[in-house]
Structure 1
């Protein structure tokens, strides 16, 4: 499932995040790449573990925790600490690659199975040329370039790339979710059911059919979830 999640960050949060990242130390993004991705990756990332990195991570995680659409779509069991990258000048692209199946956080020591990949855009599309996130999966080839504060989620098994940035800088946060429901098709089924239930509840309130369908949703989640 590929899904655009709007307004993850408020304008005030975006300003605070940019101020924090402006004081952070950056390094060659290849330092965190695996054996396959290292040949495709050409960007910069914030050095993890610094006070600025921790403050930026906390801000993003707080925003995610209040976002019901993110929870419904990903059903998070673990969330990898958000990372931050930028593309521009000579470090301006990330060629086709697939994310590693398990990510290890050097700062927390935790391992996270990568079920869902997340890109949270921090730069406005008008601030840079190029830099589109191109995702290739069963839903076809999708090109994504979202407003600052908006996020896209997609299966971590997807082949994807970031097109070269030819003007300005593209700054983003990226991270992975280990879902309580491992299979993408099951998560999609639960997400669609949850969205329909919200619409039915708005139209009909808690009538018996809505209560019954809500029970069906939770019984499916109970069957498939691993907590």
Structure 2
């Protein structure tokens, strides 16, 4: 069980270029504007309504249009992704994400967090996303357009950038299946059915489909 998902092609190169263009003329401010009491957050975040609307629309369409993202996350809703920057000496110390976030007039339960990488990791040093999963200590510095999706209740951090600039977008997802172990079990079962289903005897494949549907009904808390 991995509990996290790397997606190498969430964005096309054209989408990355467009997001970079939007960010180049947009205003970024101290990231603590959205978390003023944080003692570990040191970054810059987009603070430009027009740029936020354009960039978040591109990113949301990419996420919900990507089959592997949908299959892994079982998404009900997501916070519109926010572009952030880290310049030398900036970091985001070890933390777990808030359990609930405001999305318009509703609260969104943060089951999964997602970092979308927007610039070449060769253009900066440091700045790895470090995630603690049990006894595993994992670090990610993804290529432009790639993403990492991981449980929001894990301890994680962005290590200090020592040179260049780290440019990413972040978002939080509410899943139909809150429990990460159940979510990944159903994801794996669905993957096996998709890859091997046509090789199975038709009656056994139908039985597997029934199990998939029953588990989704039993474990899912949103339609």
Question: What's the TM-score bracket when you normalise by the shorter of the two chains?
Answer: over 0.9
Q: Does 1:217 align with 2:217?
A: no
Q: Secondary structure at the match of 2:77?
A: strand
Gaps of 5+ in 2: none
Gaps of 5+ in 1: none
Partners in 1 of 2:83 and 2:55 — Cα distance? 9
| Match of residue 161 from structure 2 | 165
| Match of residue 96 from structure 2 | 98
| Match of residue 50 from structure 2 | 51
Query: Normalising to structure 2: TM-score of the pair?
Result: 0.94
| Match of residue 198 from structure 1 | 194
| Match of residue 80 from structure 1 | 79
Q: How big is each residue's C-alpha offset from its partner over 1:134-172, in whole Å with a ceiling of 9 and x where there is no partner?
A: 001226211111111111011111110001111111111
Q: Does 1:113 align with 2:113?
A: no
Cα distance 1:73–1:132, how it changes in 2: closer, same or farther (>3 A)? same
| Match of residue 64 from structure 2 | 65
Say if 1:200 and 1:210, in contact at 8 Å, map to a contact too.
Answer: no
Give how far 1:188 is off: 0.8
Q: Does 1:9 align with 2:11?
A: yes
Structure 1 segments, 4+ long, off by >6 Å, are: none
Cα distance 1:127–1:15, how it changes in 2: closer, same or farther (>3 A)? same
Give how far 1:206 is off: 7.9
| Match of residue 30 from structure 2 | 28
Partners in 2 of 1:140 and 1:82 — Cα distance? 27
Partners in 2 of 1:128 and 1:72 — Cα distance? 32
CA RMSD of aligned residues (A): 1.5
Give how far 1:207 is off: 2.6
Give how far 1:82 is off: 0.7
Say if 2:88 and 2:160, in contact at 8 Å, map to a contact too.
Answer: no
Query: Normalising to structure 1: TM-score of the pair?
Result: 0.92
